[in-house]
Amino acid sequence: MLAGLVVLGGLVCNIGNIGGGGLGFDALLGLSPRVGGVLTAVVAVGVGVFLSRWAGIAMDRLVLVLGLAMILLTGYVAWLLTLYLGYKSLGGLANL
């Protein structure tokens, strides 16, 4: 039963990704979502077949770089927010 649920979840997620790709092609190029979904599926299969040996390594490095960028940007936003809230709190105390 658990294996069946895992397979069902994998199908649902992948179908959602193909549907999202189809809607993306619709938004970007004006193609129908069905045609965009087919193009997305073809690209996904092409990447899986032709780049399968290097795709794992490239994906790992890309995710590592994007994760590091996300952490750095989150820290930057937190720092900016701290400066802003500190400035506003000092201004609020000065008005008392």
8-42 confidence digits (pLDDT tens): 666 666 677 788 888 889 999 999 988 988 898 88
- Please tell me the pTM assigned to this model: 0.44
Is residue 17 within a helix (H) or strand (E), and if so which, with residue range?
helix 2-29
pLDDT above 80 for 78: yes
Tell me the three state secondary structure of residue 18.
Answer: helix
Ranges 13-17, 44-48, 80-84, 87-91, most confident? 80-84
At 68 the pLDDT is 93
Residue pair 45/60 in contact (Cβ under 8 Å)? The answer is no
CA–CA gap between residue 12 and residue 16 (Å, rounded): 6
At 60 the pLDDT is 79
